Structure 1
Amino acid sequence: MVDQHSTLRAQRRTETQRKIQAHAVRLFTERGYDNTTVTDVAEAAGVSPMTVYRHFPTKEDMVLVDQHGRLVAERIVASSAAQPLVRRIGNALIDSAATLTGASQGDDLTAGKRFLLARLRLMISTPALRAKHLDNHYALQQAIVDALGNDAADPDAAFHAQVAASACLAALHTALVRWAEDDGRTELADVIAKALAAAFGEDTVKPATGIASSESRGRAGR
């Protein structure tokens, strides 16, 4: 019974957090980030400002908080440690992006895509969010390094993991900006795979949908 109550509380917390964030992103987009207060978001979400702060300690967090780090870490942990670092990280970034955006039907954007696009546009256009995003970048890099499970006592292994994570995240950032500028007309996973291939070579990561040649697919499968 205790476990059931804990699960229900966690579900309610997640639902409240998602509702607050959805209203925050909508208001920031409609009114402007600087012109929208935490009180405005609380009123729109039907909660108190204190509840907003319990879920999002800062105003920036209402845009920046997401599941990306957890999804990437889970996929890295599930991957084979025998693979090169960049392949493990790159494939995790591609897979998590596909999960976050969902599968689109024709030219229609999924709810996940529309929400991510709105968040990315805010991050790109708002100086305060760009600065805060750097903190999230470092946090994601550390989550990736931790998920790789390298021996922390080996300075060289830790350094290699940090370099690989940082390089992959640089490619990810470029892909996200390109995808936002393109209004999400292409699959985000494809854009990320293309960016990683440009940085590290087509054989470094598995091909996403529709961007790799049949020859590179054959090589990746071997």
Structure 2
Amino acid sequence: MPRTSQRGGPETRRRISDVATRMFLDRGFDEVTVADVAREAGVSSVTVFKHFPRKEDLLFDREEDAVEILRAAVRDRGPGVDVLDSLRRVAFGLLDDRHALSGVKDGSIPFFRTVAASPALIARAREIAAELQRTLRTLLEDDEEFDGDAALCAALVIAGYASVLTETARRVIEEGMPDPVIEDHRARVTRLFDALRDGL
């Protein structure tokens, strides 16, 4: 049995997440407890909850990455660069990098299937989308160069991208790999931002 540790830090967080993800994908989210994860990772349950307040966040561990991506897209764009253009570039950058948040990362099918099989994970995914929407709205409200409707823009961007990701995940599972879906994903991201441009 692994020795239980109370230590924290980024390495501990990553180890806990990696162990939890492997266990969830192997056995199913609902079949694995936080205590199971803690034991396998060699930490206490208290340590797990210190890093991940919710069990669902052991699998959804990229919310902070998504927040930073949105923040950079809004705050770090060049002078005179439109917010929608910046967000569009970010979306295509994620696709080109085959980033996990693009939906076309290699090896993503077990993750998609695990999420689809768990009502708790589906509910948490919706909560995260709502949190990202609030984050983007705040960023737009604080942006001196943005003169549109921050609430509406944030809602449409996040809901639209979530819809694209959901369809991409469905298609990736259907095809058995991401490669055949990439150009369709690219086309739908293009249509999304074209529609946002026309509508906003």
TM over 0.5, shorter chain? yes
Question: Taking structure 1 as reference, are residues 130 and 65 closer, same or farther at Cα in structure 2, changes over 3 Å only?
Answer: same
Residue of structure 1 in register with 2:30 after alignment: 34
Give unmatched runs, 5+ long, in structure 1. 1-11, 103-109, 205-222
3-state SS of 2:178 partner = coil
| Change in 2 beyond 3 A, CA 1:99/1:56 | farther
> Does 1:166 pair with 2:155?
yes
Instruction: Give the deviation of 1:188 after TM superposition.
Output: 8.5
Residues 102-156 of structure 1, C-alpha deviations (whole Å, 9 max, x = no match): 8xxxxxxx9x643x554443333311111122221121112223333336xx9x7
Native 8 Å contact 1:120 1:180 kept in 2: yes
One-letter amino acid of the structure 1 residue matched with residue 167 of structure 2:
R
Q: Kindly tell me: are residues 194 and 76 of structure 1, through their superposed partners in 2, closer, same or farther at Cα, counting changes over 3 Å?
A: farther
Residues 203 and 57 (structure 1), Cα distance of their counterparts in 2 relative to 1, 3 Å cut: closer
Q: Which amino acid aligns with 1:175?
A: V
TM-score, scaled to structure 1: 0.66
Report the residue type matching 1:29 in the other structure. Answer: L
Q: Distance in 2 between matches of 1:25 and 1:139?
A: 22
Q: Contact 1:171–1:192 (CA<8 Å) still a contact in 2?
A: no
Alignment of 1:139 onto 2:139? no
Q: 1:22/1:118 Cα in 2 relative to 1: closer, same or farther (>3 Å)?
A: farther
Asked if the contact 1:24–1:41 (Cα under 8 Å) also holds between the matched residues in 2, the reply is yes
Residues 94, 193 of structure 1: 8 Å contact kept: yes
TM-score of the superposition, structure 2-length normalised? 0.72
CA distance in 1, matches of 2:9, 2:97: 21
Select the residue among 88, 96, 115 that pairs with 1:123. Answer: 115
Retained in 2: the 8 A contact 1:179–1:188?
Answer: yes
Q: How does 1:189-204 map to 2 (within 5 A)?
A: 193-201=186-194
Alpha-carbon deviations, 1:33-88, whole Å to 9, x = none?
A: 11110011112211111111111111111122312221232232211363443223
Q: Is the 8 A contact 2:129 2:162 kept in 1?
A: no
The reply to whether residue 64 of structure 1 matches residue 60 of structure 2 is yes
| Residue 96 to residue 199, structure 1, CA distance change in 2 (3 Å) | closer
State the alpha-carbon separation in 1 of the partners of residues 42 and 27 from structure 2: 18
Number of residue pairs matched by the alignment = 179
Note if contact 2:56-2:124 (Cα within 8 Å) is conserved in structure 1.
yes
Unaligned segments of structure 2, at least 5 residues: 1-7
Query: Are residues 1:52 and 2:48 paired?
Result: yes
Distance 1:77 1:95 in 2: 17
**Counterpart position of 2:3:** none
Q: Alpha carbons of 1:26 and 1:192: their partners in 2 closer, same or farther (altered >3 Å)?
A: same
Partner Cα distance (2:98, 2:71) in 1: 14
**2:82, 2:155 → 1: CA distance?**
15
Equivalent-residue separation in structure 2 for 1:191 and 1:55 (angstroms): 37
Moved more, 69-78 or 47-56: 69-78
Structure 1 Cα separation of the partners of residues 42 and 181 of structure 2: 33
The percent identity for this pair of structures is: 23
1:178 and 2:167 equivalent? yes
RMSD over aligned CA atoms reads 3.2
User: Does residue 18 of structure 1 match 2:14?
Assistant: yes
Return the alpha-carbon distance in structure 2 between the equivalents of residues 18 and 62 of structure 1.
10
